[in-house]
Structure formats: C-alpha cells, structure tokens
Structure 1
Amino acid sequence: MIRLDNLTKVFETPKGPVVAADHISMDVPSGEICILLGPSGCGKTTTLKMINRIVKPTSGKVLINGEDTTGMDTQTLRRNIGYVIQQIGLFPNMTIEENITVVPKLLGWDKARYRERARELMAMIAMDPDAFLKRYPSELSGGQQQRIGVARALAADPPVMLMDEPFGAIDPINRAVIQDEFLKMQQALNKTIMFVSHDIDEAIKMGDRVAVFREGKLVQYSTPDDLLAAPKNSFVESFLGEDRALKRLNLVKVRELVTDEIATVTPGDTLETALAKIEDFGYQNSILMVNERRQPAGIISRSLARTTKGYCRDHFQTVPAVIGLDDDLRKAASLMFAHDTTWLPCVDDEGRVCGHVTQRAMTSHLGARFRTRQGDTRNPDPAIKE
C-alpha cells in the first residue's frame, strides 16, 4: 500500500546542508502497522511528513497503492490520508462533532451521512455520542481529546493513516487503554498505518513491522519478533536494551505453548488418587481439581496429599491463578512470579480447563527462537531495499 523509493530530505542551514532522511526505501503492506522507531533527530518524523507532503521531499518517490504521489494535488493527497499527532490539534472553537466531520464536509458528504459517521466513530472509540458530540475540546480530558484526534483521522475512511507519537503525551494507564482500543479497531478497519514512536514497548505491541532509524538512515526493517531476536548491529541491539529477550514475551500467545497434557482430579477423588497422579505426572508439586463443567475448582498440593487422608473436596486450596489462551507470555510470567508457581492452568472462553503452560516451556521456546536467529544478521525482510 505504501512504498518509499529512495526518499530523501536535505535541509539547507546556515552551517550547510543537513540530511534528515537519506534514501529511505521500504514497503508497508496493506493493512499493516509500521512503526518508525529511533532516537530524537533520527529522521523518522521527517520521513512520515514527506508522505503527506507536510515536508516536501528533496528527491525520491512516495507511492500509495501503486500510484506515484509526486504530481498529485497536495490537498487531494492529504484529504485521503488520516493524520494524527501528539499535540492532537483539535479546533478549540468547534464542537467535537464539527472537529470529526471537517474532512467529510470538505469532500462534499451530505449532512446526514457525516453526522452518522461521527456517531459511528464515537461508539468505536468508546465515547457516548450523546454525551460528547456537542461539547468543545476544552471540556475533555487529554486522553479523550486524543481519542477524538484518532476519530477525526478516520472520519473520511482513508486507506492510509499517519500517526506521529499519537499517545506519547498521555499517562501510562490511559495510553495502554487507548492502544488496546486502537488495535481492536484496526482488526476491523484494516488500515495501512505508519506510526512514529520512541517507545520500544509501544512499537513491539502496536507494530506488524518496525523500522529503526539512525542519523537519517533506515538501519533495520523487520517484524518485532525478528527485530528482538536478531538486531542487525550493535546500535539496534543497544537501542532495544538488554532485556530484549524478555520483551519477546509480549509477542507470544499462550495458545502457542499450551499443552493438553494436564492431570486433574474431581472433588470426589481421594487424596491418595491425587498423590498418585502427581507422582505420575512428574515435575509438578500439585494437581488441579476441576468441577463437573471442567472449570478450575481448587489445587491439591503434593505435601497435603502425602500427609492427609480423605477426599479432595475437603482439603483443597484456592487456585492461585489461571491464564487465557489469548493472553501473552508476559502476563503468564508475571502470574507465575507473583504466585510462586512454575505452571498455570489454561482456560478457554468458557472458563474450562484446556491444558497448562509451564515456565520450562516458556524458557525453552524463547531460548530456541533466540538461538536460531542469533548470529543471522542478514536482512530478514525483503520489504527494505538494501
């Protein structure tokens, strides 16, 4: 959907020319989020702004859906690209509805259509249309204003969106909520998005691909997993941080590691039966008790089963934690550490036990992937032109 072909920007200064973006070539496939990542002054925002010609390129081309935008009318180009910035840029003298519908009005939409679109978008960003559309930006919190900025960028249903650190000025709690809501919207909307960030965790969470910049050059363009497993050089490695292996926990879902080999007992089983199953299973020091719907009902420990007689229903402990199939390994690891356990029962959407995930499996998976990619410094993605 977006192709940058040797895109270059040179700024003339009193001290001579400064190359802000140096022959940037990359492809962003349709429906993907590409994060432009790097330290301040590395050229990522300049590159973004050349796409909608807020900054005019010195040389090179921008192609959107195969069409060279060089000769395209600037206003037409910008009206077909959604644009969200950190400062939001809402018009203070306009209501929220008027802010959202600016571009649809310019495109000639009729009143009924653009008003309905505003209500649709308010529902999409989890804000009540009746409560907010007639308000002014000054009556909203910073996080709410940022959501309106996203809604305005989506108003005319553009195929391409550009986002320049859109969530950077929001507090961590609201930022995480908005990020999650935006990713849910993206699953439905399937936009092609270029997104500037300086936050590595945000890039890993939000991006299908990550482009790392340094001093105006595109250093590496990879999927988040490849980026963390195989940084191209020492700069990328240091920029990602020493905990990059742990960052990969965010990228792996529990369903990828769950095993259905989980021993269980029922409330009517004896503690002797529970101990036998624990011993047969091997390395676990407890066993899960499930109810008639196969939902977690308690835990029987090895020490309890060895020293006590009776039935499981009379001697169980509370299940410390469970994990869902669509949760990531970071959450699983956090729960394991918090509850001092080496395994967690996994449940489906109905809360039924469908297996378990272990600390050993997580370590093995991440280690194997890291060792496979480590040392492979070849460009892992043909979308970047070397």
Structure 2
Amino acid sequence: MIRLDNLTKVFDTPKGAVTAADHITMEVPSGEICILLGPSGCGKTTTLKMVNRIIRPTSGKVFINGEDTTDLDTQELRRNIGYVIQQIGLFPNMTIEENITVVPKLLGWDKAKYKERARELMRMIALEPDAFLKRYPSELSGGQQQRIGVARALAADPPVMLMDEPFGAIDPINRAVIQDEFLKMQQELNKTIMFVSHDIDEAIKMGDRVAVFREGRLVQYSTPDDLLAAPENAFVESFLGEDRALKRLNLVKVREVVTDEIGTVRPGDTLEQALARIDDFGYQNAILMVNDKRQPVGLITRALARTTKGYCRDHFQNVPATVTLDDDLRKVASLMFAQDTTWLPCVDEEGRVCGQITQRAMTHHLGSRFRPTQEDDAQIPDAATKE
C-alpha cells in the first residue's frame, strides 16, 4: 500500500547540506502497521512527512496503492491520508464534532452522513457522542483530545494513516489504554499505517513491522520478533537494549507454548491418589483439582498430600492464577513471579482447563530463536565445540 523508492531529503543549512533521509527504500503491505523507530534526529519523522508532502523530497518517489504521488495535487493527496501528531492539533475554536468532520466537509459529504460518521467514530474511541460532540477541545483531558485526533484522522475513511508519536505526550497508564483501544480498532479497520516512535516497547507492541533508522539511513526493516532475535548490527542491538530477549515476552502468546499434558484430580479422589498423580508428573509440586466441567477449583500440594489423609474436596488450596490462550508471556511471567510458581494452568473461553504452561517451556521457546543454527555450529572451531 505504501512504497518508498530511494526517498531522499537534503536540507540546506548555513553550515552546508545536511542529509536527513538517505535513499530510503521500503514497502508497507496493506493493512499493516509499520513503526519508524530510532533516536532523535535519525530521519524517521522526515521520512513520514515526505509521504504526505509536508516535507518535499529532494529525490525519490512515494507510491500509494501502486500510484506514483509525485504529480498528484498536494491537497488531494493529504485529504486521502489520515494524519495524527503528538501535539494533537485540534482546532480550539471548533467543537469536537466540527473537528472530526473537517475533511468530510471538504470532500463534499452530505451533512447527515458526516454527522453520523462523527457519532460512529466517537463510539469507536470509547467516548459517548452525546456527552462530548458539542464540547470544545479545552474541555477535554489530554488523553481524550488524543483520541479525538485519531477519530479526525479516520473521519474520511482513508486507506493510509500517518502517525507522528501520537501517544508520546500521554501519561503511561492512559497511553497503554489508548494503544490497546487503537489495536482493537485496527483489527476492524485494517488501515495501512506508518507510525513514528522512539519507544521500543511501543514499537514492539504496536508494529507488524519495525524500521530502525540511524543518521538518515534505514538500518533494519523486519518484524518485531525478527528484530529482537536477530539485530542487524551492533547499533541495533545496543538500541534494543540488553533485555531484548525479555521484550519478546510481549510477542508470544500462551497458545504457542501451552501443552495439553496436565495432571488433574477430582474432588472425590483421595489425597493418596493425588500424591500418586503428582509423582507421575515429577516436575510439579502440586496437582490441579477440577470439577465436572473441568474447571479449576483447587490445588493439592505435595506436602499436603504426604502428611494428610482424606479426600481432595476437604483439603485444597485456592488456585493462585490461571492464564488464557490469548495472554502473552509477559503476563504469564509476572504471575509466576508473583505467585512463586513455575507453572500455571491454562483455561479456554468457558473457563475449562485446556493445558498448562511452564517456566521451562517458556525458556525453551524464547531461547530457540537465539541458539545457533547448524550452519553457525559448522563455523565454530573444534576446540571451542569441545569446550
């Protein structure tokens, strides 16, 4: 949907020519979010602004949906590209409804149509239309204004959106909420988005692809997982940080690591039977008790089963936590640390046990991307291999 072909921008300054973007070539597939990431002054914002010609390229071309935009009328180009900036940029003398409907009005939409579009978008960004549409920007919080900025960019239903650090000025709690809401919206809207950020965690969370810039050059362009697992060079590795393996916890879902091999007992089983089941699994110090619907209702520990006689229904602990197939490994790791456990049961949408996830399985899954391949092993000297 977006293709940059040797896009270059050279600024003339009193000290001479400065190349802000140096032959940037990349493609953003339809329906994906591409994050432009890098330190300040690396060229990511310049590259973004050349797409809608806020900054005119020195050379190179921009293609939108296969069409060369070089000869397109600038105003027409911009009206078909949604644009969201960190400073929000709402018109202070216009109501929220007027702000949202600016572009549809310019495009000649029918009044009933653009008013209904404003209400639809307000519901989409989780703000009640009747309560907010007639207000002015100064009457809203910063987070609410930022949501209105996103709604305004979506008003004319553009196929492409450009976002320049749109959530950067919002406090961490509200930023996380807005990010989550935006990703839910994107699942329905399927827009093609270029998104500038300097926050690595935001890039990993939001992006289908990440483009890392340095001094005006595109250094690496890959999926977040590939970026974290295989940095192109020392600069990218340093920029990502020493905890890049841990950052991958956000990218992996429980369903990718879960195993259906989990021991269970019923309330009517004896503690002696529970101990035998715990021994069958070996690496667990407890067994899960489930009801007739296979929902977790308790935990029988090894220590309890060894020292007590009776039935499981009379001697059990509460289940410390459960996870779902759609949870990410960061949540799982947090729960494991908080509950001082190395495994957790996994439940489906009905709350029924469908497997378990273990610390060992998580470590193996994450580490598999960092272990050398057979080709790498072949290049290791024999002496090093023996060591």
Name the CA shift for 1:375/1:118 in 2 (closer, same or farther; >3 Å): farther
Q: Where does structure 2 lack aligned partners over 5 or more consecutive residues?
A: 377-387
In the alignment, the residues of structure 1 paired with residue 311 and residue 282 of structure 2 have an alpha-carbon distance, to the nearest angstrom, of: 22
Where do residues 61-140 of structure 1 align in structure 2 (5 Å cutoff)? 61-140=61-140
Query: Where does residue 147 of structure 1 map in the other structure?
Result: 147
Q: How far off is 1:221 after superposition?
A: 0.2
> SS at the partner of 1:326?
coil
Where do residues 338-353 of structure 1 align in structure 2 (5 Å cutoff)? 338-353=338-353
* TM-score, normalised by the number of residues in structure 1: 0.96
Q: How far off is 1:70 after superposition?
A: 0.2
Give the ranges of 4+ consecutive aligned residues of structure 1 lying more than 3 Å apart after TM superposition. Answer: 372-376
> SS at the partner of 1:370?
coil
Once the two structures are superposed, residues 208-243 of structure 1 have per-residue CA deviations (whole angstroms, 9 ceiling, x without a partner) of 000000000000000000000000000000000000
In the alignment, the residues of structure 1 paired with residue 312 and residue 254 of structure 2 have an alpha-carbon distance, to the nearest angstrom, of: 28
> SS at the partner of 1:330?
helix
Query: Where does residue 329 of structure 1 map in the other structure?
Result: 329
* TM-score, normalised by the number of residues in structure 2: 0.96
Q: How far off is 1:291 after superposition?
A: 1.4
> SS at the partner of 2:356?
strand
In the alignment, the residues of structure 2 paired with residue 89 and residue 323 of structure 1 have an alpha-carbon distance, to the nearest angstrom, of: 41
Q: How far off is 1:295 after superposition?
A: 1.0
In the alignment, the residues of structure 1 paired with residue 134 and residue 65 of structure 2 have an alpha-carbon distance, to the nearest angstrom, of: 37
- Does 2:11 match 1:11? yes
Letter in 2 for 1:26: M
Once the two structures are superposed, residues 316-348 of structure 1 have per-residue CA deviations (whole angstroms, 9 ceiling, x without a partner) of 001111011100001001100110000000011
> SS at the partner of 1:346?
strand
In the alignment, the residues of structure 2 paired with residue 370 and residue 193 of structure 1 have an alpha-carbon distance, to the nearest angstrom, of: 30
Q: How far off is 1:109 after superposition?
A: 0.1
Once the two structures are superposed, residues 104-161 of structure 1 have per-residue CA deviations (whole angstroms, 9 ceiling, x without a partner) of 0000000000000000000000010011001000000000000000000000000000
CA contact (8 A) 1:229 1:373 kept: no
Name the CA shift for 1:375/1:137 in 2 (closer, same or farther; >3 Å): farther
In the alignment, the residues of structure 2 paired with residue 163 and residue 154 of structure 1 have an alpha-carbon distance, to the nearest angstrom, of: 12
Once the two structures are superposed, residues 158-198 of structure 1 have per-residue CA deviations (whole angstroms, 9 ceiling, x without a partner) of 00000000000000000000000000000000000000000
Q: Where does structure 1 lack aligned partners over 5 or more consecutive residues?
A: 377-386
Q: How far off is 1:372 after superposition?
A: 5.0
Query: Where does residue 264 of structure 2 map in the other structure?
Result: 264
Where do residues 154-233 of structure 1 align in structure 2 (5 Å cutoff)? 154-233=154-233
Of 237-246 and 287-296, deviating more is: 287-296
- Does 2:70 match 1:53? no
Over aligned residue pairs, what C-alpha RMSD do you find? 1.1
In the alignment, the residues of structure 2 paired with residue 20 and residue 374 of structure 1 have an alpha-carbon distance, to the nearest angstrom, of: 41
Q: How far off is 1:374 after superposition?
A: 12
In the alignment, the residues of structure 1 paired with residue 14 and residue 212 of structure 2 have an alpha-carbon distance, to the nearest angstrom, of: 29
In the alignment, the residues of structure 2 paired with residue 141 and residue 81 of structure 1 have an alpha-carbon distance, to the nearest angstrom, of: 26
In the alignment, the residues of structure 2 paired with residue 53 and residue 372 of structure 1 have an alpha-carbon distance, to the nearest angstrom, of: 44
The sequence identity of aligned pairs, in percent, is: 87
- Does 2:296 match 1:293? no
Aligned length, in residue pairs: 376
In the alignment, the residues of structure 1 paired with residue 370 and residue 292 of structure 2 have an alpha-carbon distance, to the nearest angstrom, of: 41
In the alignment, the residues of structure 2 paired with residue 273 and residue 96 of structure 1 have an alpha-carbon distance, to the nearest angstrom, of: 65
Query: Where does residue 385 of structure 2 map in the other structure?
Result: none
Query: Where does residue 380 of structure 2 map in the other structure?
Result: none
Once the two structures are superposed, residues 242-292 of structure 1 have per-residue CA deviations (whole angstroms, 9 ceiling, x without a partner) of 000000011000001111111101111110110000001111000001112
Q: How far off is 1:371 after superposition?
A: 1.7
In the alignment, the residues of structure 2 paired with residue 292 and residue 138 of structure 1 have an alpha-carbon distance, to the nearest angstrom, of: 56
